[in-house]
Chains A and B, each alone.
Chain A
Amino acid sequence: MEGRMSSEARVTPTDRQKKAQRARSIAIALSLIVFVVVMYIVTIVKMGPAILDRAL
């Protein structure tokens, strides 16, 4: 699909837009990492040893 696109149809972001996009991507990645770590620790704290107490 991409290969059939003419060069006129493609849009090239400016350097500033690329820089902003990269910064936003890093911020989203960091936020997601924090979210996952928080949920993990909350689960351990809330459930404690009972986290292992489940039917297999």
Chain B
Amino acid sequence: MALVDDRLTHDTGILFSEAMPGDYFALLKPRVMSLVVFTAFVGLVAAPVSLNPFITVISVLAIAVGAGASGALNMWYDADIDRLMGRTASRPIPSGRVAPGQALAFGLVLSALSVMMLGLVANWLAASLLAFTIFFYAVVYTMWLKRSTPQNIVIGGAAGAFPPMIGWAAATGAFGLESILLFLVIFLWTPPHFWALALFKQAEYGRAGIPMMPNVAGEASTRRQIFAYSLVTAAAGVAPAAFGFASVAYGIVATVLSLGLVWYAWKVMRMDASDRAMKPAKALFGYSLLYLFGIFGAYLVDVVVARIGG
């Protein structure tokens, strides 16, 4: 806080910020936003309706801005613990480039604008789900679950899983079973992804007082839970083909990708307790990102090919 005040006031008592536009863009968590954009786009395109391309692009943009806004609200609330962890200490608020109040205002304005835009461009069901997602991430996850339970990212993972459902709802005005399956893939994928990170960042999370699973239940229990969640994630990844929503070709690709996820999770479960480099956990973290993009990419290609062929 002292750093923020010094930089902003410059000993004058009057606010002059040195924040550049890029600092505000960083508040939107662009890397998380890229995942949201992609999964929401897949939800939109997979919906069995023909859409105006411009409406599709603006709908995805509105969902992306809404996700970014919730990221800004998260950074506003978490500034105190972000400064304690190496991974987050350089974010705009803890590094003193953006004042907390400015980040809060930025997040609130963008939340309202994105929901309004999606409502006007697509429909109010999609807009309501976007508003709920922002609320769920900023309030339920960030303000409540994150600091109070090791199930924080399990329940909070729903916020990251809603975008394909929002995309589907934006296209159709309803929730289809296909979009719920896409939701499940991300929802079940979240624990192995974040717990792999939590394993090799355990000390930082402990310093910040965040009750991540390895800090509360121990590494052995976390490694077993990672493997269990990877198994159900793999099942969810293949489910669109099993339910007949995707082709056999998708089923084969999803099976191969899912076997990879289970393999990496198995390596984590078998990791030696004395292994502090935790290469298997780092490998799983990296592969899990590829896995999600791979599953959604394969589903997108499958839908497009089926549409061209049909």
Question: A residues engaging B (CB < 8 A)?
Answer: 11, 13-14, 16-17, 20-21, 23-24, 26-27, 35, 38, 41-42, 45-46
Would you list the 9 A-B pairs with minimal beta carbon distance, nearest first?
Answer: A27-B21, A17-B16, A13-B16, A11-B12, A20-B18, A11-B14, A23-B20, A42-B121, A20-B20
B120 neighbours in A (Cβ, 8 Å): 42, 46
**Would you give the shortest CB distance from A14 to chain B, in whole angstroms?**
6
Q: A24-B19, A27-B21 are in contact. Are A41 and B14 (CB under 8 A)?
A: no
A16 neighbours in B (Cβ, 8 Å): 18
Q: Sample 23 A-B pairs with CB under 8 A, ordered by A number.
A: A11-B12, A13-B10, A13-B16, A16-B18, A17-B16, A20-B17, A20-B18, A20-B20, A23-B21, A24-B17, A24-B19, A24-B20, A24-B21, A24-B24, A27-B21, A35-B113, A38-B58, A41-B54, A42-B55, A42-B58, A42-B120, A45-B54, A46-B121
CB of B274 within 8 A of chain A?
A: no
**Would you give the shortest CB distance from B129 to chain A, in whole angstroms?**
20
Are A45 and B55 in contact, CB atoms less than 8 angstroms apart?
A: yes
Secondary structure type dominating chain A contacts: helix
Bound: A26/B22 CA distance, A: 12
**Would you give the shortest CB distance from A26 to chain B, in whole angstroms?**
8
A17 neighbours in B (Cβ, 8 Å): 10, 16-18
B54 nearest in chain A by CB position? A45
**Would you give the shortest CB distance from A38 to chain B, in whole angstroms?**
6
CB of B50 within 8 A of chain A?
A: no
List B residues 49-82 near A (Cβ within 8 Å): 52, 54-55, 58
B14 nearest in chain A by CB position? A11
Bound: A13/B16 CA distance, A: 7
Bound: A41/B55 CA distance, A: 10
Are B16 and A21 in contact, CB atoms less than 8 angstroms apart?
A: yes
**Would you give the shortest CB distance from B224 to chain A, in whole angstroms?**
48
**Would you give the shortest CB distance from A43 to chain B, in whole angstroms?**
9
B17 neighbours in A (Cβ, 8 Å): 17, 20-21, 24
Are A14 and B16 in contact, CB atoms less than 8 angstroms apart?
A: yes
A26 neighbours in B (Cβ, 8 Å): 21
Are B54 and A20 in contact, CB atoms less than 8 angstroms apart?
A: no
Bound: A14/B121 CA distance, A: 43
**Would you give the shortest CB distance from B99 to chain A, in whole angstroms?**
13
Q: A23-B21, A27-B21 are in contact. Are A11 and B16 (CB under 8 A)?
A: yes
B12 neighbours in A (Cβ, 8 Å): 11
**Would you give the shortest CB distance from B209 to chain A, in whole angstroms?**
33
